[in-house]
Each structure stands twice: as C-alpha cells, then as structure tokens.
Amino acid sequence: MTETPLKTMAGHRNLKAGHFVLEFDTPGIGHILKTAGCDFAVFDTEHSGFGIETTKRVLRYMQAAELPTIVRVPSTDYKDIARACDAGAEGVMLPMVSTPEEAEAIVQAMKYVPRGGRGVIVRCAYDRFTSGPTVEKLAFQNQRTTLFAQIETADGVKNADAIAAIDGVDCLWVGHFDLSCSLGIPAQFDHPDFLAAIDTVLEACARHGKSAGRLVPDVDSGITLFKQGFDFIAYNADAWALSDAVAAGLTAIRSGTKQGAAP
C-alpha cells in the first residue's frame, strides 16, 4: 500500500473518494476502508462524541492502513485544532467557517512559525515519534497539514471568495444540511437559493485553485456533484452504510422467501 498525502490530493481536481467515520472506532476500521478503495477518511468528532483519546487511537489505525485522515473537530477553538494536529491528523475540518478572519485564525492554530503560532511539540504522533532537526520537523508539518473549511452558513457563502483566497485553506467543504438551514430552506437542496449558494462556493474554489468537498448519501449524488465541480466526495458514513446494507439484504431475503419480518 502507498499513501498519497492529502495536500497532494488537494492540489488537483481529480476525484478523491472517501468515507465518514462517526460510530465505529474498531482497530480494523482503517484497513476496512482502505481495502474498500477509500482515498481518505473523515473522522468526525463534531457529532459523534469521540474524544481526544479515541481520536489518537483511531489515527494510529489509519496510519497502519496508510489511509490519509481528516479529523472534523467540534469547534474552531485553538485547543481543538492543535490537539487534533498533535494527535496526528493530516487534515482538519472545521465547522461553520464564516469569515476570512476565522479562516486565518484556524491557519494560525494549525501551522508552526513562520506561518502560524501553534505550540511546538516534536517526536509525537504527527512525525511518528521519530527524531530529527526541529526546524525541519516544523517545516514538514506546515507543509503536511491540510485545512478543510466548512461552508455551512449564509455568511460563509458571502465570504467564500475571501476564505478561499487565504494561503493555508485547501478545500471549501459544503455542509449542506446546515447551509440549507442557515438560508432558511431546511433540506431544500433544489431550492434556487441553495443552488445559487453552491455556485458561489464552486466559483470561489475555481478562482483560487482550491478543492471543493461534499458528503453524499448515494452513488448518483456523488457522480452528479463531481461533474458539478466537487472533487472531494465522501460517500456515506459508517453507521448509515451498515444499516442500509443490512436492511437491503434482509429485505431481499424476505422477499425471496416470501417471509415478512418476525413479529
């Protein structure tokens, strides 16, 4: 197995296909997703309840499988961002990024000097506990860390161009449910206002050479959104994929045997 860094992936517009992890922190999760063909994984600590100890452990599973992993942190606080990076997160996804000032503060928290002000630690998870010159390690980490800024508010859309213009922002990731709610049209993804917002985000990404990302619930949506301009596509999440697969299998068995569900 070989690993393509997230930073390299974000540098081109070819398809990057991955998966969300929000329920299963099993030791096999990295190899399962790698074997399934994932280019990357998103480990969600915003909505899952996973804490930093679980994050550290799962990132080692992902390292063993050579699967680049984005950690979605619960807030834009420095401690959440820096701890995820120290734990070995190659990418960090931040919720509700709405202004260029917020995006710049995130970059400052992720990067070491001279680009940022992150507190220094070496010989830890991100460099796989290896020794070496500190200055080289800081430069390596600055080059490696990849920022996925979630655009999921009306202000985020309004400021998408300014956010995408910031050096250190690698991808604008649309949080489609929250964005639709912020626009006052919950889950109305075909509404003209939502479609206009998506166009604005994609135009900003194209103008500044940045990637665009989405979570998709099904294959058709993934294909359609890639053609529209999204190049990071996360297909489904672990709990939902398992539930849907089991439900489909059981339904097919019951249909084939003409047996209904057990009372």
| Catalytic annotation, residues | 47
The span from the CA of 4 to the CA of 7, in Å, is: 8
**Cα separations in angstroms, 15 against 10, 54, 147, 182, 226:** 10, 29, 18, 28, 7
The span from the CA of 102 to the CA of 204, in Å, is: 17
- Cβ neighbours, 10 Å, residue 75: 13
Residue 175 near residue 151, CB atoms below 8 Å? yes
Residue in 153, 202, 199, 204 with CA at minimum distance from that of residue 176: 153
Residue 16 has φ and ψ, to the nearest 5°, of: -120, 115
The span from the CA of 82 to the CA of 112, in Å, is: 10
**Cα separations in angstroms, 75 against 17, 33, 254:** 25, 26, 45
Token look-up 């912020």 returns 182
The span from the CA of 156 to the CA of 191, in Å, is: 18
